[in-house]
Amino acid sequence: MADWIRRFLLAIVGTLVVTGSLRPSLAHAGWFADTMIDPGDGQLDASKYLAEKRGFLPVPIIITEPAVGYGLGVAAVFFHDPLAGKTKPGEEFNPNPDRDGNLKPPSVSALFGGYTENDTWFAGAAHFGVWKDDTVRYTGVLARANVNMKFYGLDSGGLLGDRPIKFNTEGDYLLQQLLFRIRESNFLAGLKYSYLKTDNTFNTSSLLPGLGLPDITFSSTSAGLGAVFHYENLDNTVTPGRGLKAELSAINYGATWGGDSDFNKYRLFANYWFPIKPDWVIGLRADGSAVTDNPPFYEYPFIDMRGIPAMRYQGEETLVGEVEARYDVTPRWSILGFIGTGKAFSDRGRGDSTTVVSKGVGFRYLTARRFGLRAGIDVAWGPEDTAFYIQVGSAWSR
């Protein structure tokens, strides 16, 4: 599943379970006991509900991104098939695994929208299609957003590092991605097209108050086409306990594809999980991104870690490394700790950006045992602030 759609849909499912929005009225207590209680241990569990669910599912979205503040949203998700696979109405839960025993993802469509406390909003539609027995995967997104954030420049030790410029970006986004499985392997390869047209306003008075400087406004369009190579052999795609997920992408942006800036963008990441004891799982993450030439300011990569606001540390190249340890206290409840470091490099500032470290703790509840889906909350301490996140599945599912 494409990274953005995977994270979005997992967040929806987790919000349903964590907030209890699946709970029916007392008049339907019998349905709740039959559908939402695991007969094995008598605990709350959404496995049967998710396995048999098809059709529309309205769900809330909880936003906790530090860069835009807390917010709420709603999504109308349409499951073309239940998570258990293609089953006829009335059939019992009967998972439809692939050759490695993993459940094949369903085709899913969604309409979504949200609003945050700093007046950022977004709305759009998305579709994730699984075709030809999961040998072809399609991702499509069409969205519009109005985002209010701060720009810290490409050198965190420079002027903007201490006094960032507030900016507003309003724009339209289109994503098209098509991946093909290579024979019957764990490798997928294909093409990705991205289009983003924006109108941008920089509030220079936030940099030098009292001088009456006019706002800087400009429009920009970035459009690119490139190749994506993906490998995945996880034992569980939502909350892995063993296996590797890696991806390499190389995208060329320019007038050829409908943009007004010529540049290239590259990303290589690898996430690896392995157990050291029956109740202990260690996760390792390495992530590197780079751009060349002259991309728009919002296309520069940034350090993406829990505890670090989006776009806080940008550069022409970024490197991130993280370690996470999870301990299963009981079959249902887990605790975890994590620590990571990141660095953004730039030839345009006074020097390399400062290396930053983020660390934190969290907990998980096994919300859907048959799918291995764990949801919970993380608290992270970054160099400037403390943030909390509602997590569904792995925090690295992006």
139 within a domain of the structure (yes/no): yes
**What is the residue-averaged pLDDT of the chain?**
84
Q: What is the pLDDT of residues 218-243, one digit of tens each?
A: 999 999 999 999 999 988 877 899 99
Q: What is the band of 107 on the pLDDT scale with cuts at 50, 70, 90? A: confident
Residue 17 has pLDDT above 80, yes or no: no
**Pairing label, strands 216-232, 243-253:** antiparallel
At residue 256, φ and ψ (nearest 5 deg) are -55, -35
At residue 134, φ and ψ (nearest 5 deg) are 60, 30
CA separation (Å) from 354 to 25, 66, 225, 316? 53, 20, 32, 14
96 within a domain of the structure (yes/no): no
Q: What is the band of 283 on the pLDDT scale with cuts at 50, 70, 90? A: very high
Q: What is the pLDDT of residues 75-97, one digit of tens each?
A: 888 877 666 554 445 545 444 45
64 within a domain of the structure (yes/no): no
Q: Can you give the pTM of this predicted structure?
A: 0.85
169 within a domain of the structure (yes/no): yes
Instruction: For the chain, give the percent of residues with pLDDT over 90.
Output: 56
Contact assessment for residue 335 and residue 316, using Cβ atoms and an 8 Å cutoff: no
Q: What is the pLDDT of residues 167-209, one digit of tens each?
A: 999 999 999 999 999 998 999 999 999 999 999 999 987 677 7
188 within a domain of the structure (yes/no): yes
286 is in which domain, residue-wise? 119-392
Give the integer Cα–Cα distance in Å for 92 and 34. 13
14 within a domain of the structure (yes/no): no
Q: What is the band of 56 on the pLDDT scale with cuts at 50, 70, 90? A: low
94 within a domain of the structure (yes/no): no
Residue 83 has a pLDDT of 60
Residue 6 has pLDDT above 70, yes or no: no
**Which range has highest mean pLDDT (21-30, 204-213, 345-354)?**
204-213
**Which of 280 and 210 is assigned the larger pLDDT?**
280
135 within a domain of the structure (yes/no): yes
Domain of 317: which CATH number? 2.40.160.50
Q: How many domains does the chain have?
A: 1
Q: What is the band of 350 on the pLDDT scale with cuts at 50, 70, 90? A: very low
Give the integer Cα–Cα distance in Å for 159 and 152. 8
